[in-house]
Amino acid sequence: MNKPSNQVSWDTQQSNELYGVDNWANDFFSISENGHLHVHLHDEDQKTAVSLPDIVDGIRERGLDTPLLLRFHDLLADRIRNLNIAFNSAITQSGYQGCYRGVYPIKVNQQQQVIEEITQFGELYHYGLEAGSKPELLAALAYMHDPDAYIICNGYKDQEFIDLALQSTKMGLQIILVIEMPSELNLILERSVALGVRPMLGVRAKLSTCNNSHWSHSSGENSVFGLTTNQILNTVDTLRDHGMLNTLRLLHYHQGSQVPDIQSIRESATEASRIYTDLIHEGATMGLLDIGGGLGIDYDGSRSDSHSSRNYGIQEYAADIVEVVKTVCDEAQFNHPTIISESGRAVAAYYSVLIFNILDVNSPSADSIPNRIPEKPHPHTMKLSEVEGYLEEANLQECYNDAIYYREEILSLFRHGNVSLRERAYCNSLFTRIMTRIHEIADTMEQAPEALAEGNPFRDVYYGNFSLFQSLPDSWAINQLFPVMPIHRLNEEPTARATLADITCDCDGRIDQFIIKGEHQDHLPLHPLNDHENYFLGVFLVGAYQETLGDLHNLLGDTNVVSVGVKNGKVQYRRELAGDTIADVLSYVEYDTKNLVERFRSLAERSVEEGKITPSQRRQIMDSYRESIAGYTYYESPNT
């Protein structure tokens, strides 16, 4: 609901605290004095704060409308750099004798631009790639040519997959085939002999250690992929029998994505290190320990062990891993292995920001109460009206109870035909006004009645020009929380209490859980819309998974994408990828757009023959049909 705004008493620091920017932004975003949200990008050897609203205006002036996905390659580079700095610092401080090599799991965001930039930025650190399928391996082989970086091959592998990996090994690439199922080993050995290539092999272990993340089912002994301890030993024996035990170089384990608790990470690393040293005891060459993914992102800024956060930072994560591996290997008197991590979410999440405009607002407070009470009102209607008259703090609970009671009675009367639609509408508006006033009073009380603790249930619905299912599927599928906030007007008090709805015709296309002042809330503070002025919201940390998991709900396709940098203090729009047209998405679901035009033309021509429209009207209708097919799948502003 909208509250009176006091512009003088509101400043950008209050907006910063309200939306928790300092908690989740990782120093990549900040609020300027004029109320704009800024992104911090590299301009030669220094960082420059660039206004997101100015970026959006520049893109729209160039002809691309919202919704927009902004990609910031500088943030991707920073995450790779920070991850390597953290591990290298931990290695130096602890006296660890091995080194660190990161690999990026392509599945986290398979977009070509992402893979190209990761291989470019990561070259300094010999940063590799992880491929979990044949298409991902083909992409990795095209972009990863660093002989000192690793390409880790996970997932199900057929003969063609294995042959590609082995042939590329012959060309000097460090490709490791990770055995995740017992049946893979014989095929790998067979193809190695046929191609005359000695492979680099790894085994994926099913650890007993689990965690409490959304993806805990992918860890532990009941996970789908990986080998049990018996299967690992059988693999060792088979390799020994074939004289190939020295090809076993790597132990891999995976805890699942977004592990919130550092203790689970330590326990898994300890168990895996024990398996690693025992494999050396068995005669395997080893040398590489792949700790998989799991490094979390603090989506909600709480730095806790909630599913949308993590109770550790990158430096603590790296230090704990290095300490555990060093301790176990020192006890066994073995050399320290190269530590490999497959941190995808932690690398890619900050990279992308979804920007969309608000199209409309549906506010319960906009339901005006009729000037006069309906003729011959039911006594319960009169009673509800009286509640508003005697409402005050001293009897707040009583008024709340009475309002609930009389509204339910009126609804029952309507269902039985004893109250008209107009009288029901009058009572609904009156009830909304009473409940709003009750919650406004409760907000000022030191100890409000328990029934009012959850706040006002009446929320404004802000309709955003986006598809939740296309751009934020994790929000719908697993209730993932993402930072959401306006990108401008942050020097004004946001007086509306809102939920967000997308433009799909699906009731699930909504966001109604947010992090406000570090707490989970069922509303997002937003500003009332101004006439003839766009209002833009940003959703942050969407670079991991959201681009690749999206679907075509209501045939709403990919958004426009723009890659942004800065040079000499000026914004550079380095890449522009137009979003899907209606023709594109129709072709995805097997429509032939030429056939669609012809079928519609037949309908229009028949209408001319029947005298329903004129030939010139037919031409206008056909032009509109063709123009629509070539247009953006989202709401298009009249001036774009």
- Do 155 and 211 fall into the same domain? yes
Least Cα distance to 295 among 265, 324, 323 occurs for 265
Interatomic CA distance for residues 158 and 165, integer angstroms: 11
Tokens describing residue 229:
């301890």
Same domain? For 283 and 404 the reply is no
Query: What CA–CA distance (Å, rounded) separates 411 from 442?
Result: 26
Amino acid identity for residue 551 in this structure = D
What domain count does the chain have?
A: 3
**What H or E segment, with its residue span, contains residue 152?**
strand 150-153
Domain that holds residue 420: 379-452
Question: Residues 400, 278: one domain?
Answer: no
Q: What are phi and psi of 561, to 5 degrees?
A: -125, 135
* 400 and 299 within one domain: no
**Residue 391 belongs to domain with CATH number:** 1.20.58.930
- For residues 438 and 555, what is the distance between their CA atoms, to the nearest angstrom? 43
- Boundary (domain end) residue, out of 452, 483, 517: 452
pLDDT at 453: 66
Domain boundary (410, 433, 452) is at: 452
Q: Give me the helices (H) in 370-395, please.
A: 379-389
CA–CA dist 508, 616 (Å, integer): 43
If one compares 367 and 300, the residue with the highest pLDDT of the two is 300
What is the Cα–Cα distance from 42 to 45, expressed in whole angstroms? 7
Per mean pLDDT, which of 42-46, 198-202, 459-463, 519-523 is the most reliable?
Answer: 198-202
What average pLDDT does range 506-527 have in this prediction? 91
The Cα–Cα gap between 95 and 89 comes to 10
- What band does 4 get if pLDDT is binned at 50, 70 and 90? very low
Instruction: Kindly state whether residues 343 and 385 are assigned to the same domain.
Output: no
pLDDT digits (tens, 9 = 90+) for 383-393: 999 998 899 98
**Same domain, yes or no, for 215 and 115?**
yes
pLDDT value for 235:
97
What DSSP string describes 301-365? S--SSSTT--SS-HHHHHHHHHHHHHHHHHHHT-PPPEEEE---HHHHGGGEEEEEEEEEEE-GG
633 alpha carbon, distance to own chain's centre:
21
Residues 193, 102 within the same domain: yes
Enter the pTM of the model.
0.90
Kindly tell me the sign of the dihedral angle through the C-alpha atoms of 60, 62, 63, 64.
negative
Rounded distance between C-alpha atoms, residue 621 and residue 88, angstroms: 65
From 153, 210, 505, 507, the catalytic residue: 505
495 located within any domain: no
Average pLDDT, the chain: 92
Active site residue 153: no
Which comes out higher in pLDDT, residue 438 or 540? 540
Once rounded to an integer, what is the mean pLDDT over residues 414-424?
92
- Same domain, yes or no, for 153 and 197? yes
